[in-house]
Structure 1
Amino acid sequence: MKKLLTFILLGLVFVSTAEQIPYSAINCRKHVAHLTDFGGKGDGVTSNTAAFKAAVANLSQVASDGGALLVVPPGKWLTGSFGLASHFTLYVHQKAVILGSQEESDYPLIDSLPSYGSGREAPGKRFSSLIVGTNLTDVVITGGNGTIDGQGEIWWKKFKAKQLKNTRPYMIEILHSTNLQISDLTLTNSPSWHVHPTYCTNVIIERLTILAPVTVPNTDGIDPDSCTDTRIRDSYVVSGDDCIAVKSGWDQYGISYAVPTQRLSIRSFTCISPDSAVIALGSEMSGGIRDLRAEDIHALNSQSGIRIKTGVGRGGYVKDIYVRNVEMENMEYFFWMNGDYGSHPDPGWDPKALPVITNINYRDMKGKNVTVVGGLAGIKGDDFTSICISNVTMELATENKEKKEPWKCEDVGGVSSNVTPKACPQLAEKAVDCPFPTDTLDIDKVELNKCFVDV
């Protein structure tokens, strides 16, 4: 592998050798450079925004010649928002920490997403995310379990005090891109959501550790939004909000944009989220969510397991959902569906836009210390249908101060089989194994290459 150091004025290229460390990626790179080659300083104090931007601008020039990799070496690298390029890898060394700036001016204001029509937290614009990219092909964000720390506490305080007129920045947001990989990193303390691939195709998210205080709202772990062919693997999230939140746009804007999240595969995933869900579908699902397959899921001390969040005005659909092999402990809700959830972007939402929730399949699950097994509430006149739950055993919490019933169902319909405690009457008992697809999604067939990086 060549070490590329490009000087625009002198036009020089230097080649050297160094220790090589293996990593996995959708594509290896021909050229490699270090952030220090572009004036970066890892002292935790000096701003490296200009260094990151210069590095990406220079290395993007070799995109057609095997692509380039930028090493963030050991140190603490303070930076504001910066963008990535196609055929590009950002590699964060094991002993490196990228620190998000705490200055609002380091995050330019950008327009709301077309499928949202408004900032998610405020009617104004959005602060650009820490790491961004638009219309990219073949981009990798990875490392030797290096760290990206959003230093979000100042943002959390401003949000709580209602001092922000625009939506907080996310940590990583990639838009309108294909062949995206985010892997082998520790992400912590984002101002808001941590990983937000949006309008993307062929997305691989693997071996992430995401950590945020459980008391801070909207610090979601991974939010695939209007994405096709996505896989999430071998990851661990502690969050003050949903560990995974599957989305596809908000009310009339999502309905009009009409780009679903589809063919999403989740496997070997662990979550702790005392106030939110392990996997949430919605509430912004107006473009539709279909063909989700989740298995080998573990949760501890979380508010809910698999949750569908929607409401009048959302439109869209959640259908063809398949979940199996789930173990959870210390849960308030195991299965939770809401037909009355969520706010609206503006008064233009359509009260006649009702969501379609159908073909929801859960099987082979165990739970301990669960307060409510199923809280399933559809919409009057718009039942959630074809719900199937089979081979599920729950041990109820011994102390239930509110004396909640293990099941409460309304405006839903479906079947249940071998469920303990016995499911609600709306899920009629029937000897059935709820289905799980036997085919393999194309994204699950993708094998990463073994690459090497000079450090």
Structure 2
Amino acid sequence: MTIELDEDAIYETASYEIWVNGRLKGVFHRMIQTIDGLLPDTDYEIMLVRANEASETVTFHTEPEPITLNVRDFGAFGDGVHDDTSAIQAAILCCPENARVLIPKGTYPVTALFLKSDMILELQENAVLAGIYDRARTPILPGQIEYDNEDGYYNLGSWEGNPIDSFASMITGIHVKNVTICGKGVLDGRADFENWWSRPKDKIRAWRPRMIFLNHCENITVVGVTVQNSPAWNLHPYFSNQIRFLDMEVKGPANSHNTDGCDPESCTNVEIAGVHFSVGDDCIAIKSGKIYMGKKFKVPSKHIHIRQSWMQDGHGAVTVGSEIAAGVDDIHISKCRFSNTDRGLRVKTRRGRGKDSVLKGIVFEDLELEGVKAPFVVNSFYFCDPDGRTEYVGTKEALPVDERTPKIESIEFRNIVCRNAHYCGAYIYGLPEQKIERLVFDNVSITYAKEAQTGVAAMMMGCEPASRLGLVIGNVKNLILHNVSIDGQDGERLCLSGVENVEEEQD
């Protein structure tokens, strides 16, 4: 059971007690909190108490479960030495519908585990699934397998927006539904610079695995667990629907390679709530494939809702792109805290993503940013691809609009406080031939660090190192500035180029 407080605080609030059936469960301070240890098919009453004032009592009944399968009964050692992959996989395969597989306290070395539908996988407190680095023993998910009697192919593996062979992940779901992964345990990929991160740009048998990979899955909930030290992206839902990540920790070293926190790719109805990210790349990156996948399947990422989370360190707090060839729609980020990330609210695209790459309905609101180097970045010239530094991608001259040209329709930034920024307040560039249709800053305040660092705000050709820039905005059709406060910048408050219409108002 996961609860969410109905108040205006962001991520954390004043301490409160949770009482379950008249007994104190604990003292908590997060806005989203999971209550574990509940029995199946049981009535419960929950009450919150703060400063001796009690909330209304909430009653509910837990779902029945036919049986719990303990992986120790299937031969798992949990001693940190033996390979427990086959024992845990046996428990999963034997799990009846709506039953539970229990991983008790212990350390369980594994390569890759495959989920089945209609089950619960619970990692108890102090239970650790520990990744085994052995490329020869880890299964490979082929990127493309041709069908025997029809055109097309069966896609299993994926790497950075293309259907390419990749290693199976520690937790892999292929066309499964109705699964919950829960508990206070840990998924530890045990990646480091002696194994998975040592040659990050090289494909060795296959591309690096994720920690949780969900391919064409539906109604999957991951709640309470810690995910750390991933070989690559931590959480990767792919062409999936109704996916929830709740009350989690996702972490990795700041210098680890491609360890994005959560990357929904061509997914619908994704909820990320109460998650603390501290990783070596983007905390969250919303994607929909490179141009081959975008043109073939035309599946955008849409209805992605992120709230009450803390994005700490990393390249970008919440990013849209850059593998975004099928576009995005209805991306809503609210009541989150961003701390010391390189960029805060980040959109990255480029020529070549294609005409189906339409970005619309992107709203960031009710956020607190602290120490973020470049709080607002929209980059239509993103150069981190093999051809990213070509004249076609990088030129600031208007080119003909064709089937390769992406489009940004609307981005809104509302009720956001940015403290101690470094490089700039905002660095935003649309394409000259396909300008950003509508860009809104509403009730946004920006202050700068006293000893602001100098750096490059956007990964685009021609973006020079800078410090304390104001709002740098180019190639926008309609720019709306309402109650925008900028304090401490060097030079002009607004640096505009190629902006057709500006509406500015202060209450």
Q: Normalising by the residue count of structure 1, what TM-score does the alignment of the two structures yield?
A: 0.83
Distance 1:115 1:432 in 2: 52
Cross-structure match for 1:148: 187
What's the offset of the Cα at 1:380? 2.3
* Contact 1:86–1:138 (8 Å) recurs in 2: yes
Cross-structure match for 1:343: 385
What's the offset of the Cα at 1:122? 9.8
Instruction: Provide the aligned length of Structure 1 versus Structure 2.
Output: 406
Is 2:278 aligned against 1:238? yes
Cross-structure match for 2:416: 365
Give the alignment partner of residue 119 of structure 1, picking from 150, 159, 163.
159
Is 2:348 aligned against 1:305? no
Query: In the alignment, residue 369 of structure 1 is paired with which amino acid?
Result: N
Is 2:100 aligned against 1:69? yes
Distance 2:130 2:119 in 1: 21
What's the offset of the Cα at 1:333? 0.7
User: Cα gap change, 1:78/1:232 in structure 2, threshold over 3 Å: closer, same or farther?
Assistant: same
In structure 1, the residue corresponding to 2:296 is in which secondary structure? Answer: helix
Distance 2:303 2:39 in 1: 26
* Contact 2:197–2:257 (8 Å) recurs in 1: no
Cross-structure match for 1:80: 111
Query: In the alignment, residue 339 of structure 1 is paired with which amino acid?
Result: S
What's the offset of the Cα at 1:121? 9.5
Distance 2:113 2:339 in 1: 35
Give the alignment partner of residue 376 of structure 1, picking from 411, 415, 428.
428
User: Cα gap change, 1:98/1:172 in structure 2, threshold over 3 Å: closer, same or farther?
Assistant: same
Distance 2:156 2:298 in 1: 11
Cross-structure match for 1:35: 71
User: Structure 1: where are the runs of 5+ without partners?
Assistant: 1-19, 434-455
Distance 2:166 2:329 in 1: 28
What's the offset of the Cα at 1:207? 0.5
Give the alignment partner of residue 228 of structure 1, picking from 262, 268, 275.
268
* Contact 1:221–1:237 (8 Å) recurs in 2: yes
Distance 1:351 1:262 in 2: 24
Matches within 5 A, 1:34-433: 34-59=70-95, 62-63=96-97, 67-112=98-143, 119-120=159-160, 125-143=165-183, 145-153=184-192, 154-160=194-200, 162=202, 164=204, 166-274=206-314, 276-315=315-354, 316-341=357-382, 342-343=384-385, 352-371=403-422, 372-400=424-452, 401=454, 402-413=466-477, 414-421=479-486, 422-425=493-496, 426=499, 428-431=502-505
User: Cα gap change, 1:228/1:157 in structure 2, threshold over 3 Å: closer, same or farther?
Assistant: closer
Cross-structure match for 1:6: none
* Contact 1:124–1:165 (8 Å) recurs in 2: no
Considering Cα pairs closer than 8 Å and 6+ residues apart, tell me whether 1 or 2 has the greater RCO.
1
User: Cα gap change, 1:251/1:116 in structure 2, threshold over 3 Å: closer, same or farther?
Assistant: farther
* Contact 1:116–1:249 (8 Å) recurs in 2: no
What's the offset of the Cα at 1:116? 11
What's the offset of the Cα at 1:162? 4.0
In structure 2, the residue corresponding to 1:47 is in which secondary structure? Answer: coil
Distance 1:23 1:227 in 2: 32
RMSD: 2.8
| 1:185-207 Cα shifts (integer Å, max 9, x gaps) | 11110101111111111111100
Query: In the alignment, residue 410 of structure 1 is paired with which amino acid?
Result: G
| 1:314-367 Cα shifts (integer Å, max 9, x gaps) | 1211110111111111111111011111426999x9974111111111100111
User: Structure 2: where are the runs of 5+ without partners?
Assistant: 1-35, 41-60, 145-153, 394-400, 455-465, 487-492
Query: In the alignment, residue 120 of structure 2 is paired with which amino acid?
Result: T
Q: Normalising by the residue count of structure 2, what TM-score does the alignment of the two structures yield?
A: 0.75
What's the offset of the Cα at 1:179? 0.7
Distance 1:115 1:363 in 2: 39
| 1:380-438 Cα shifts (integer Å, max 9, x gaps) | 211112011110011122234444522222222321111122544437233499xxxxx
| 1:263-316 Cα shifts (integer Å, max 9, x gaps) | 111110101124x10000010111111101111110111101110011111121
Distance 1:30 1:423 in 2: 63
Query: In the alignment, residue 135 of structure 2 is paired with which amino acid?
Result: E
Cross-structure match for 2:53: none
Distance 1:107 1:423 in 2: 53
* Contact 2:197–2:256 (8 Å) recurs in 1: no
Cross-structure match for 2:147: none
Distance 1:255 1:432 in 2: 43
Query: In the alignment, residue 421 of structure 2 is paired with which amino acid?
Result: V
* Contact 1:225–1:248 (8 Å) recurs in 2: yes
Distance 1:116 1:398 in 2: 50
Distance 1:167 1:43 in 2: 29
User: Cα gap change, 1:92/1:432 in structure 2, threshold over 3 Å: closer, same or farther?
Assistant: farther
Is 2:6 aligned against 1:21? no
Identity, in percent, stands at 27
| 1:45-64 Cα shifts (integer Å, max 9, x gaps) | 100111122111111xx22x
